[in-house]
Amino acid sequence: MPSVHIVGGGVAGFTLARELVRKGYAGNIKISDPEGLPYDRPPLSKSLQREYFVPPAWFEQHGVSLIQENITELVAPTAEDEWVVLATGNTPKKLQVPGAEHIRSLHTATDAADLSAALEDGMFGQRVLVIGAGLVGAEFAATAKMLGAQVTLVSNSEAPLSNVLGVEMAAVLHAEHSRHGITVLSGELAEAGAGYAVVGGQRIEAEILVAAIGVEPETTLAQAMGLEINDGILVDDQQRTTTFRQVLAIGDGARMTQRSRAVHWEAAMEDAAIAAATIMGGDARPHSVPWFWSDRHDSHIEAVGDFTRATQHVSRLNRRGQLQVLFGLNEAGNLVAASMIDGGQMSKAVKRLIARGYTPSIEELQDSSVGPRDLGRQEKA
């Protein structure tokens, strides 16, 4: 009987199972995941909460087998109606310093629950030290501060996430931490111990130490299967691995050849839609313009496109003269990226313009009176 074995129950793995159910797949669907019931990861750092995609009854109702297990070995299927899909995601980078075992991570629901309990059980105003000011680090720092902790945030950059937000926007957002009462330090972590860390020669005391220095693709199983790996499990435009046609890879752990690896929620869902089409022999939409969002303090942040391709930045200020939208143009003057704070419908408008290959004038990009619906009005004229 036809079958699909999905290894990993994150957003990519679960979305694939849901897509197959929606499309009426007639074979067996199985999800293997060491944590059991699939849940969404963004709420972990934003609110230290586990939010399940669907209740347990959904799996039984739709005939999807959900097995809590850690798969370490798999044989690639050879039959054309049997599929293995690796949705193994990513794993946190580890600090290589003396005493690193004293520093917590924030990657799983268990990590979030442990940190939530530590913050709730500890004294009000207890000290929290966060190493790394990327998405997870910044979101957790804001959450810990909101829960009453004294937070110190350490970064080796004055503009973390500049590659995805643009330097100007990244710097503005990083500076916001100080405005909300977080102590921000620049420097390298040298060592850690029970209740302290040494950063840039300075000893910092803290009851809770957390590292959020980035992630890397989880490829342990892929390597055991002999799959081709280069900053992720290499796949073609149908999500097939370059080694076995019946083995697909999707989500944060996969990378399409000739493209950079995408590590965000929407890309994982699009991978799953493509994989479902491959399994069922249909057509799928190609990946859309990249987009992601983040919440920290009282701001909603969005980014569209690829700032690594931008050589020129155009700023749009709000009525208070503060940066609200940063547009990125490439060498040819084409719009390729944008980041924004509380931008409303602006991200959708920019995404549409980038997809169509249309670039508004510099004056139009800068003019705050030109709303998202009117941005690019010359194209419609």
pTM for the complete prediction? 0.92
pLDDT level of residue 113 (50, 70, 90 thresholds): very high
Query: pLDDT tens digits, residue range 128-161?
Result: 999 999 999 999 999 999 999 999 999 988 899 9
| pLDDT tens string 253-308 | 999 987 778 778 889 999 999 999 999 998 878 888 999 999 999 899 999 999 99
pLDDT tens, position by position, 48-69: 999 999 999 999 999 999 999 9
- pLDDT at position 377 over 80: no
Count of C-beta atoms within a 10 Å radius of residue 100: 16
